[in-house]
Amino acid sequence: MLTYLIKTTEGLLSASIMLGLILSYSKTNFDKRGKRVTLIGIVAGLAASIVMSIMKNATSKIDTGRWNLRIFSLALIAFVLFLLFTINGVRSRTKKAGEVLSEAALGVLAFTVLLYALPDVWAYPYSFLVTEQTVLSTDFLYKLIGYLLGIILVFIVGLAIYQGSERMKAAQSGLLLKLVLLVNAVRQITVGLQIMLAKRMIVSNHVLFSIAKFSSNHSDSFIYAAMILAVIIPIILWMRSFRVKEPYSNPAEHRKIRAKWRNTRRWATTAIITLFLCLMNMTVVKAIDNREVELSPVEDAVVKDGNVYVSFEQVSDGHLHRFGYVTESGTQIRFIVIKKPNSSAYGIGLDACDICGETGYYEKDGQVVCKLCDVVMNINTIGFKGGCNPIVISYSIMNGNIIVPVEGLLEYESEFK
């Protein structure tokens, strides 16, 4: 649940802030035609992102890196044109052509923002399904809830930024839009560089790779920069709301002005709260989600006559149980036991596999999962060789006990260092 809450927040937040500012700019500065162009850009971006998402997941036609380069190229050209034709001098000289081009550039920017941000987000439910196999599982539901909460959260951020931005002075909101687009442009250039280096489209050198490495390892900084710029909007509105000096001629007008600024403060508060929640998602919640799984402790088992004895009573509850044998050199050789579902048989194997080593297994929602590679084991195949299954060990069953020979365990001492 948390993973997809974080993924949707990180994936959509910058786009949401940009779209809020783009829509507000369009509403404030463009005439009917300009607003329509922005809307067309958004609708086309939504439609193209759905097509892209389907193509990415259902065909092998989409090389994401190459497509991102195309999207970035288009967005960067549109950004430069938008900057150029919104400079007062240029706009007044170019008149109608400049107007049309600045409107088209903003529409194209809205299109590229959505086409870049949305395809992966559309596909997340498909990836839950691949993992969970069915839409009827609790895990699928939790992941879906996290996913939807993330989308709702960033949507509210975008809405609050839009509402706040259109209540600001046009010059201020215009400047903020350009700064957010500039942050986006720098990010696109650095990600483009990473793609071109990885694809060997350009020859690497120390400077280029250093830029690519630094920008990749600090990629969250671009989202934080957009958030910092976005939070300026509610701060300015809050400050202005306490220094309102709008003239009024009667109490009704006064009440109207107060209501307007009360409403403005509400949008400002919404923006601050939702941006704060996004920040929490990307920091605190992410840290919680990424914390290392701790293996359950090794349980007591009787060791006598060169065997480890595990009684059925200890392991008949259907949960994963971990046992161990400490060798003369102090190495603890662990093994796991789990009663197989709808069966009286037990799955028994080392708490290690050939592929991931002694990393161990843990139980999550009734499933056995490898701690290193997160592969979910089929409980019925535990005890069989292959893949990430626990290493098979010899054992026997007698008088209500699982008997594991120490000699057999010692063969795998080197696995547990």
**Interface with other proteins (CB under 8 A):** 3, 56, 59-70, 73-74, 77-78, 81, 94-97, 100-101, 104, 108, 120, 127, 130-131, 191, 194-195, 197-204, 209, 212-214, 216-217, 354-357, 372-378, 386-388
Listing from the earlier edge strand, what are the strands of the sheet with 332-339? 321-326, 332-339, 346-350
Amino acid code (one letter) for 5: L
Residue 239 CA neighbour count, 13 Å, CB half = 6
- Least separation in angstroms between residue 337's CB and other proteins is 19
CA distance 256 to 262: 10
Cβ-based nearer residue to other proteins, 147 or 325? 147
- Least separation in angstroms between residue 381's CB and other proteins is 8
Inter-residue contact 25 to 174 (CB < 8 Å): yes
Q: From 162, 197, 193, select the one nearest 27 (Cα to Cα).
A: 162
Cβ-based nearer residue to other proteins, 65 or 314? 65
- Least separation in angstroms between residue 102's CB and other proteins is 11
Contacts for 128 with CB less than 8 Å, ≥ 6 apart: 4, 139, 140, 143, 144, 147
- Least separation in angstroms between residue 254's CB and other proteins is 48
Inter-residue contact 73 to 109 (CB < 8 Å): no
- Least separation in angstroms between residue 313's CB and other proteins is 30
Cβ-based nearer residue to other proteins, 133 or 311? 133
- Least separation in angstroms between residue 390's CB and other proteins is 13
Max Cα–Cα distance, the chain, nearest Å: 100
Cβ-based nearer residue to other proteins, 65 or 405? 65
Phi-psi region of 338 (alpha: psi -120 to 50; beta: other; left: phi over 0): beta
- How many Cβ atoms sit within 10 Å of the Cβ of residue 127? 15
| SS3 assignment, position 395 | coil
Cβ-based nearer residue to other proteins, 98 or 164? 98
Inter-residue contact 340 to 347 (CB < 8 Å): yes
Give the number of residues written for the chain. 417
Cβ-based nearer residue to other proteins, 213 or 262? 213
Q: From 170, 161, 165, 36, select the one nearest 103 (Cα to Cα).
A: 36
Structure tokens at 13: 């937040």
- Least separation in angstroms between residue 107's CB and other proteins is 11
- Least separation in angstroms between residue 213's CB and other proteins is 4
CA distance 296 to 224: 37
Cβ-based nearer residue to other proteins, 110 or 402? 110
- Least separation in angstroms between residue 143's CB and other proteins is 10
Cβ-based nearer residue to other proteins, 101 or 230? 101
CA distance 27 to 11: 26
Residue 34 CA neighbour count, 13 Å, CB half = 21
Cβ-based nearer residue to other proteins, 64 or 327? 64
- Least separation in angstroms between residue 357's CB and other proteins is 7
- Least separation in angstroms between residue 364's CB and other proteins is 13
Amino acid code (one letter) for 316: S
* Chain CA centroid to CA 206, Å: 30
Cβ-based nearer residue to other proteins, 145 or 355? 355
Inter-residue contact 293 to 360 (CB < 8 Å): no
- Would strands 367-370 and 361-364 be described as parallel, antiparallel, or unpaired? antiparallel
Cβ-based nearer residue to other proteins, 318 or 357? 357
Listing from the earlier edge strand, what are the strands of the sheet with 401-405? 302-304, 307-311, 401-405, 396-398
